[in-house]
Amino acid sequence: MRASLIQIDVDPGESVNSRRERAGSLVREQRGSDLVVLPELWTTGAFAYELFGDEAEKLDGPTARAMSEAARDAGVWLHAGSVPERGEDGVLYNTSLVFSPDGALAHSYRKIHRFGFDKGEAVLMGAGDRLVTVPLPELTLGLATCYDLRFPELFRGLVDAGAQAFVIPAGWPERRRAHWTLLARARAVENQAYVLACGTAGTHAGVEQAGRSVVVDPWGEVLAEAGAGEEVLVVDLAPGKVAETRATFPALRDRVL
Ligand SMILES: NC(=O)CC(=O)C(=O)O
């Protein structure tokens, strides 16, 4: 199973429309992959709080339409990262969108843990309240977004719901880069699952992004890691490795609580 992680640059010098078109082209170039992943809030940048309201869209908005077409043209499952969603209740959410190879919006996930310590996302956006798993032909994905990575109980919940690989779009800052890789590996080891963590590159709202998108296998080994700039990480996963790791080192079976 081949996965492509598109670590797109979110520099504010580029318009949202241009970045949306460029993201579509990058997705189309991944034809041949089974799964393509974009990062968190890549239309605006995760820290450009003042843009969230203006760029908020419904689940059939301009980003969703562009990504639906790109998924269909490339014939891939597309985790299109997250967008600022304007919910039916008028509230903003940080919502991830997953498209099937025929371009249908198959799943969406509203970020549960909001970042900002009482400002930014934490006050501008509502919290999701639903765990989402995505059964692909090869692997069942569990969805999480950026700050969610710090909350292991969410990942346990996803494993209990059948997840074998976690897909985590993010806009992780360079100054906490050490946490990013450590947490990605920890979530892989403790859940004996793949981790596909896709970050953004560039600097926006004064926040330098770490990049360093990373794919970790169920044993905790880093299979591939990006640098700091815009880059597409292409990696082959072995879906059987999840069951094999869980059978040969049965730590998940030995849970008591
Ligand atoms: N931006 C986030 O959601 C999370 C983050 O920056 C962190 O350090 O955690």
CATH of the domain at 213: 3.60.110.10
- Model pTM greater than 0.95? yes
Give the residue, by CA position, lying nearest to ligand 1 atom 6. 172
Is 227 among the domain residues? yes
Is 156 among the domain residues? yes
The 3-state secondary structure of 92-136, one letter per residue: EEEEEEEECCCCCEEEEEECCCCCCCCCCHHHHCCCCCCCCEEEC
- State residue 243's pLDDT score: 98
Element (H, E) at 158: helix 152-160
Q: Is the CB of 146 under 6 A from ligand 1?
A: yes
- State residue 257's pLDDT score: 87
Between CA 43 and CA 20 the distance in angstroms is 7
* DSSP state letter for 59: T
Is 257 among the domain residues? no
Is 256 among the domain residues? no
Per the structure, the count of domains in the chain is: 1
Give residue-wise pLDDT tens across range 135-185.
999 999 999 999 999 999 999 999 999 999 999 999 999 999 999 999 999
Tell me which residues of the chain have a pLDDT lower than 50.
none
Question: What distance in angstroms lies between residue 147's CA and the mean position of ligand 1's atoms?
Answer: 4
Give residue-wise pLDDT tens across range 214-223.
999 999 999 9
Residue of 111, 147, 174, 177 to mutate, ligand 1, most atoms within 8 A of C-beta: 147
Is 254 among the domain residues? no
Residue numbers annotated as active site? 40, 111, 146
Question: What distance in angstroms lies between residue 254's CA and the mean position of ligand 1's atoms?
Answer: 31
Say how many C-beta atoms besides its own lie within 10 A of residue 196's C-beta.
27
Element (H, E) at 33: none
Question: What distance in angstroms lies between residue 172's CA and the mean position of ligand 1's atoms?
Answer: 5
- State residue 224's pLDDT score: 98
Answer left, alpha or beta for residue 237, where phi above 0 means left and psi between -120 and 50 means alpha. Answer: beta
Segments forming the whole domain that contains residue 92: 2-248
Residue of 49, 94, 110, 176 to mutate, ligand 1, most atoms within 8 A of C-beta: 176
Is 203 among the domain residues? yes
Q: Is the CB of 177 under 6 A from ligand 1?
A: no
Q: Is the CB of 115 under 6 A from ligand 1?
A: yes
Between CA 189 and CA 185 the distance in angstroms is 6
Is 255 among the domain residues? no
Is 124 among the domain residues? yes
Element (H, E) at 195: strand 194-198
